[in-house]
């Protein structure tokens, strides 16, 4: 059985429908052509490098686009040389398009082309408001020595003395 049933997850969790789409994308990527070959390397806790073998492609032949958690690397076929010169042509020079799904908060830092390898640097940058933060626990306000609870400043207390039909405020 190759299908994964996420319906039990969807009954109790909210927002995980993206997980099903991610699994479908991964399944489709496994069936896609393996050209050009690539490596994904973790260089630090929150840093990654995608390296693609793009022999024969120049800087102007490759486009890199990041949009909506998808990294798209595409290459236009370099200009063809004289066909009659090659006795064997083993270096592929065809156009390609590779899509990579990026996790939340992954940002493309840059790319460089070096010795036929395209290196794309990626970094996870979680915004400050999404990082875990410590919440201080406040203690209960101390009660008065006579055991009566303190009233909030400006609030009229019912158990404060009522004299002659007047209510007094506790400060």
| Ranges in the chain, pLDDT < 70 | 1-4, 6, 9-21, 24-32, 80-83, 142-171
DSSP β-bridge partners for residue 63 = 74
Residue 84, phi then psi, degrees to nearest 5: -70, -15
| The listed CATH number (2.60.40.790, 3.30.300.30, 3.30.1360.10, 1.20.210.10) that belongs to domain 34-80+88-128 | 2.60.40.790
Structure tokens at 105: 């908060």
Q: Is this structure's pTM higher than 0.85?
A: no
Cα angle 90-93-96, degrees, rounded to a multiple of 5: 125
What pLDDT digit, counting tens, does each position of 67-114 carry? 888 899 999 987 766 667 778 878 777 899 998 888 888 999 999 999
Quick one: pLDDT at residue 63? 95
């Amino acid at each position: 059985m190759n299908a994964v049933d996420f319906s039990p997850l969807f009954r109790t969790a909210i927002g995980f429908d993206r997980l099903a789409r991610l699994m479908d994308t991964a399944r489709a990527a496994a069936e896609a052509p393996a050209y050009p070959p690539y490596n994904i390397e973790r260089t630090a806790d929150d840093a990654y490098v995608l390296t693609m073998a793009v022999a024969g492609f120049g800087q102007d032949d490759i486009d890199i686009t990041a949009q909506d958690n998808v990294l798209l690397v595409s290459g236009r076929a370099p200009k063809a040389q004289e066909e009659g010169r090659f006795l064997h042509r083993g270096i592929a020079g065809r156009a390609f398009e590779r899509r990579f799904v990026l996790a939340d908060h992954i940002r493309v830092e840059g790319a460089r082309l070096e010795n036929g390898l395209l290196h794309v640097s990626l970094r996870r940058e979680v915004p400050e408001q999404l990082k875990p933060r410590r919440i201080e626990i406040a203690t209960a306000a101390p009660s008065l020595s006579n055991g009566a609870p303190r009233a909030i400043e400006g609030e009229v207390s019912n158990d404060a003395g009522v004299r002659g039909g007047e209510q007094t405020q506790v400060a």
